[in-house]
Copies of this chain bind each other. A is one copy, B any other.
Amino acid sequence: MKTDLECFPCFLKQTLSAAAVAKMNRNQTQKAVKEVLNILKDINMELPPPLMGRDIHNIIKKISENPDPYKELKNFQNNTALKLLDELKNEIAYAEDSFETAVKFSIAGNAIDLGTSTTVSADVKDSFKNALAKQIDKAEVSKLKKEIENSKKILFLADNSGEIIFDIPLMEYIGKEKLTVAVRSNPIINDVTLKEAEQCKISSMFKVIENGSDLPGTWLDECRENFKNEFESSDLIISKGQGNFETLSSLNRSIFYLFLVKCKVIAKITGQKPDTFIIQKI
């Protein structure tokens, strides 16, 4: 997708929130905002928003002199999510439709703010209850199930820390023989890199590859050869999160997208309301 003018306020919000995560002081934050404004005024709007997202986070990394400002947050999110995993698996085991529930948890992982408390708060548990009560397109769920069964080689494009733990039941359903999980090559926001995939043991459960990029999305122009080969040769691609959707949606390649609609721009493109759980092959 192209960048929309409606993305502009959001770029500045991202700058401020990333500056806060990087514990930047007021002067550093102001410097970052000015640099972002300078880039924004000459932005190429034909390119998808995650390219500007990368510029923003590069500015934050440079000014804070921290190559991975979200490091602690990523650990926290994975650890918190791991504490919930047994409970989720239990819910799935006893669900009327285990596959649909696994899919819902995977999309919910894209939606839920895991908070900042070291114990799993009642709010987080409530968020999961709400996620289970959400409607998703049952026809698309059946289609995904069928495609998983009929595919020999499935590529799963992972998204954030924390979220990836909630993808485990779906990944286990697919099975490690068929599955390759792709992660970013360099730290960007709270996206999973190989380091987090190792820390939370995903890499010992499934085959994990790096995509070669530091974008909060999957922009093939910048991805490494072995990732592109995997992308081309897979029978089915499952893509998690808005960033992957934003960077892939204009490709001439059919992909199963799983994400929460987080903004008005994506709502307009998908024809769904914000906060909708999207499962759609496009």
Interface residues of A (CB under 8 A from B): 5-6, 8-10, 12-13, 16, 26, 29-30, 33-34, 37-38, 40-41, 45
Q: Is the CB of B16 within 8 A of A12?
A: no
Chain B residue nearest to A8 in the complex (CB): B12
The secondary structure that dominates the A interface is: helix
Selected from B5, B13, B30, the residue in CB contact (under 8 A) with A29 is B5
- List 9 contacting pairs A-B, 8 Å CB cutoff, sorted by A: A5-B26, A5-B29, A8-B33, A9-B9, A12-B12, A37-B37, A37-B40, A37-B41, A38-B41
List, in ascending order, chain B residues with CB within 8 A of A37's CB: 37, 40-41
Selected from B8, B33, B38, B45, the residue in CB contact (under 8 A) with A5 is B33
List, in ascending order, chain B residues with CB within 8 A of A16's CB: 5-6, 8-9
Q: Is the CB of A9 within 8 A of B6?
A: no
List, in ascending order, chain B residues with CB within 8 A of A40's CB: 37
In angstroms, Cα B38 to Cα A16, docked, is 19
In angstroms, Cα B45 to Cα A37, docked, is 15
Q: Is the CB of B30 within 8 A of A41?
A: no
In angstroms, Cα B208 to Cα A123, docked, is 51
List, in ascending order, chain B residues with CB within 8 A of A41's CB: 34, 37-38, 41
In angstroms, Cα B16 to Cα A30, docked, is 23
List, in ascending order, chain B residues with CB within 8 A of A26's CB: 5
List, in ascending order, chain B residues with CB within 8 A of A13's CB: 9
Residue of A12, A13, A29, A45 contacting most chain B CB atoms (<10 Å): A12
A5-B26, A9-B13 are known; give 12 further A-B pairs, CB within 8 A: A5-B16, A5-B29, A6-B16, A8-B12, A8-B16, A8-B33, A9-B12, A12-B12, A30-B45, A37-B40, A37-B41, A38-B41
List, in ascending order, chain B residues with CB within 8 A of A6's CB: 16
List, in ascending order, chain B residues with CB within 8 A of A30's CB: 5, 45
Chain B residue nearest to A13 in the complex (CB): B9
In angstroms, Cα B12 to Cα A8, docked, is 7
Residue of A6, A34, A37 contacting most chain B CB atoms (<10 Å): A37
A244 to chain B, nearest CB (A): 24
A87 to chain B, nearest CB (A): 32
List, in ascending order, chain B residues with CB within 8 A of A12's CB: 8-9, 12
A255 to chain B, nearest CB (A): 28
In angstroms, Cα B34 to Cα A40, docked, is 8
Selected from B10, B29, B34, B45, the residue in CB contact (under 8 A) with A9 is B10
Chain B residue nearest to A19 in the complex (CB): B5
**Which 6 A/B pairs are nearest by Cβ-Cβ distance?**
A9-B12, A9-B9, A37-B41, A9-B13, A8-B12, A37-B37
